[in-house]
């Protein structure tokens, strides 16, 4: 029984498609089909049946799937055990643009300090591209928003909730019990990117039957932040990008939790049932980094 044939079967199950499995494995669709057919002949059982445009496991296929995952996991563990002298010295990490700019530059030197013998490769991409790269095993770990995909494991790492911010001299800076009408009367710097559900902000104004005064539509976070710092309007920005400004007092938050509360997390993400190499080590450094950051903010 060939391990590559079993892996092709597992990918087809996770992705619910022979075609997607072929893409993820960098193989042709006929090759993946042939591997699964060979596996079925060896087992003497049909593992899939056609279901519309997709595929569906047979009863025997479902029964074999748990064994297949155990076989691959055992194989991977054995490879690591037998090659202790050749332990992976490189780890490839990906992050979405906001995590790349505001988290990775702080944590990457700490990872290197904790693991001096490891070579780190880092890439930036959208959430969707990062998930595809995880599945293709092009990267080991990614930092991105919450994603609902089969065989993708996620653990929350950072709070990146969205806050309404303004210049400290802005009239709304110290105002309490602000309503949507108050916000609609002010100039809004609207930063929008695919990492967050900005549609909720639009709906907030729609529900109050008012229209926001969007003076600036900005596709670059730093530009949006700069406009707000220069008192050109108010705006909703994610936590990671405004930590330093809030600490220095060049920006202040406007309390809006009573009308809109956008909680967001950055998740450490990997593909498969087993955490990748060095996951625990990297996670320990992150936890230590977060504890120090919280202590500094308390001071």
28 domain-assigned: yes
Confidence of residue 264 (pLDDT cuts 50, 70, 90): confident
Q: How many residues belong to the chain?
A: 299
CATH no. for residue 7? 1.10.10.10
Count how many domains the chain has: 3
Is 93 found in the same domain as 153?
yes
260 domain-assigned: no
Domain span at residue 55?
3-84
Is 281 found in the same domain as 153?
yes
pLDDT tens-digit readout, 141-153:
999 998 888 788 9
35 domain-assigned: yes
Kindly state the average pLDDT of the residues 56-83.
82
pLDDT of 147 reads 86
Checking 218-224 for CB contacts under 8 A at 24+ apart, the result is 218/189, 218/190, 218/191, 218/192, 219/191, 219/192, 219/193, 220/191, 221/98, 221/101, 221/191, 221/193, 224/189, 224/190, 224/191
Is 58 found in the same domain as 180?
no
Of 29, 63, 84, the one marking the end of a domain is 84
Is 220 found in the same domain as 170?
yes
- pLDDT of 100 above 90: yes
- pLDDT of 10 above 50: yes
Is 222 found in the same domain as 99?
no
**Which residues in 2-129 belong to E strands, given as ranges?**
48-51, 54-57, 90-95, 119-124
pLDDT tens-digit readout, 128-180:
999 999 988 899 999 999 888 878 899 999 889 999 999 999 999 988 888 99
pLDDT tens-digit readout, 213-240:
999 988 888 999 999 999 999 999 999 9
Q: What are the phi and psi torsion angles at 152 (to 5°)?
A: -100, 120
Kindly state the average pLDDT of the residues 50-62.
83
CATH no. for residue 219? 3.40.190.10
Q: According to the 3-state scheme, what is the secondary structure of the chain?
A: CCHHHHHHHHHHHHHCCHHHHHHHHCCCHHHHHHHHHHHHHHHCCCCEEEECCEEEECHHHHHHHHHHHHHHHHHHHHHHHHCHHHCCCEEEEEECHHHHHHCHHHHHHHHHHHCCCCEEEEEECCHHHHHHHHHCCCCCEEEECCCCCCCEEEEEEEECCEEEEECCCCCCCCCCCCCHHHHHCCEEEEECCCCCCCHHHHHHHHHCCCCCEEEEEECCHHHHHHHHHCCCCEEEEEHHHHHHHHHHCCCEEECCCCCCCECCEEEEEEECCCCCCCHHHHHHHHHHHHHHHHHHHHC
259 domain-assigned: no
Confidence of residue 294 (pLDDT cuts 50, 70, 90): low
- pLDDT of 114 above 70: yes
Place of tokens 């997607």: 20
Share of residues in the chain with pLDDT > 90 (%): 38
């Amino acid at each position: 029984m060939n391990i590559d044939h079993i892996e092709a079967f597992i990918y087809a199950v996770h992705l619910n498609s022979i075609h997607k499995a072929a893409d993820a494995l960098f193989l042709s669709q006929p090759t993946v089909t042939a591997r699964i057919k060979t596996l079925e002949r060896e087992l003497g059982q049909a593992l899939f049946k056609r279901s519309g445009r997709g595929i569906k496991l047979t009863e025997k296929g479902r029964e074999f799937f748990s064994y297949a995952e155990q076989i691959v996991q055992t194989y991977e563990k054995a490879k690591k055990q037998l090659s202790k002298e050749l332990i992976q010295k490189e780890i490839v990490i990906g992050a979405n643009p906001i995590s790349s700019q505001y988290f990775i530059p702080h944590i990457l030197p700490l990872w290197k300090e904790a693991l001096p013998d490891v070579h780190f490769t880092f890439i930036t991409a959208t959430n969707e591209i990062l998930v595809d790269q995880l599945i293709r095993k092009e990267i080991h770990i990614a930092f991105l928003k919450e994603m609902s995909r089969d065989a993708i494991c996620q653990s929350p790492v950072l709070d990146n909730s969205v806050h309404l911010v303004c210049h400290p001299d802005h009239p709304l800076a110290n105002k309490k019990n602000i309503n949507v009408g108050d916000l609609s009367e002010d100039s809004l710097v609207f930063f929008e990117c695919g990492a967050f559900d900005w549609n909720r902000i639009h709906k907030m104004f729609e529900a109050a039957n008012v229209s926001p005064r969007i003076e600036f539509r900005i596709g670059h976070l730093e530009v949006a932040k700069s406009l707000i710092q220069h008192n050109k309007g108010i705006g909703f920005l994610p936590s990671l990008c405004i930590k330093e400004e809030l600490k220095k007092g060049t920006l202040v938050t406007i309390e809006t939790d009573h009308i809109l509360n956008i909680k967001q997390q950055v998740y450490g993400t990997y593909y498969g049932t087993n955490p990748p190499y060095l996951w625990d080590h990297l996670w320990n450094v992150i936890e230590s980094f977060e504890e120090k950051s919280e202590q500094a903010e308390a001071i």
